[in-house]
Amino acid sequence: MRHVFHSLFFSLVLLITPVLGEMNALVILEAKDSSGSGFLVEQDGKTYVFTNLHVLMGGKPTLKLLDGTKLRAGKLSMARDRDLARIEVEGRGLKTIPIRTELPAVSDPVQVLGNSDGAGVATVLRGKVLGVGPELVEIDAPFVQGNSGSPILDARGRLLGVASFATLNVEPENWLKSDTRFRGIRRFGYRVNGVDWQEISWQGLGKRVRMLEDLERLCFDLFLMKYTTTYRGENGFLAFKAAKGRTEYREYKVFATWMESLSKGLNRASEDYLSKALEEDPNLRAMQNTRMLRRGSGLGVSQGERAAWQREKERYDRWRSTQRVQALNYFLLNDPGFFQDLPEMQRLGRNVRSRLIHDHWGSEFLEDQAKDIYETFLIISNGEILDKLPQR
């Protein structure tokens, strides 16, 4: 009995003691539009705040220890092949977390320290290792938003990884996963062993974030143009203005020019469609060629005839606008082949694709973000989905 008691006591000490010390290495990160977690690590003779790269996409953050000490954010580096970043900091007596070099075993106990739910207070979440890979470690400690960038520690307070993301099974019909843990939420952290770090300026990261935001804006504008009346004028024409769009796009301002060109191309296509319809349908042609429409002005036209002509002209313009809207709706919603083959749409797709290929993202994580947004663009434009971006 005494042996069992000592074993339980020793295990409890291993689980609790590191938390009391490693809490001093925890850093709360806050930016304009985001918050997350980080922690101090000594590496290559320097002290860094480790976190996820996506935590920093809201802007250069403030770094604060639990005792209120503020750290100045220095040089920034990002991992080439995973969602990790490190920020160089300086300070005396800073508590750091050692990196575990050997692989953990499945079922090893872990604890996640961090700013859970972005509440600005330190929390401890306990669990165990569920799986290990060259870049990832899977755990069941229930970390949530705000824990991005949190350290995953072993029982001795050594770093196993950085809490980064969760996945949820979206295949309810997959019977093979039923009654298994793979049917629910899975949580992963990136390991920091063997990371290839690349230095990047804060301005450089901000530029890439704005590039991603512009891609998202393009998808949104294309969606609005195709599925809503946001960019429709009173006459039924599309009225996307490049001058206004360039104030909303910050890095890819040329997107606004391309979208204006697309709207003009759709307008021309709808007019061509209506012109052919008028030529082929005698009833429509007769409406266009009514006596009142032909005699809108000139000598010998009475005031009453002029007023009647004006009413007829207004009725015709309303009809024409309605027909134009219907034609645009048909092209945009019911004829994906036409929209996809429109020269202006093909030009837009080629230009966006070219930008993604040739712009230097600097990390696989950022490039994957761009690829995901581009796939949304292709879905909206009914283009072909790519498995990955072509290489230069």
Tokens, residue 333: 């919603």
pTM higher than 0.75 for the full model? yes
Average per-residue pLDDT for the chain? 83
Tokens, residue 45: 């003779």
76-80, 110-114, 337-341: least confidently modelled range: 337-341
Percent of the chain with pLDDT over 70: 82
Question: Which of the pair, 153 or 289, is modelled with greater confidence?
Answer: 153
Is there a contact between 309 and 295 (Cβ–Cβ < 8 Å)? yes
- Domain over 2-199 is classified CATH 3.40.50.1100: no
Q: Where are the domains of the chain?
A: 2-199, 203-381
Is there a contact between 40 and 95 (Cβ–Cβ < 8 Å)? yes
pLDDT at 18 over 60: no
pLDDT (tens digit per residue) in 313-351:
777 677 767 777 777 777 777 777 777 888 999 999 999
Stretch (H or E) spanning 283 = helix 282-288
Expressed in angstroms, the distance from the first to the final Cα of the chain is 68
48-57, 178-187, 332-341, 361-370: least confidently modelled range: 332-341
| Alpha carbon distances (Å) from 266 to 232, 324, 330, 383 | 12, 10, 11, 17
Assign 8 a pLDDT band (cuts: 50, 70, 90): very low
Dihedral sign computed on CA atoms, order 284, 289, 292, 293: positive
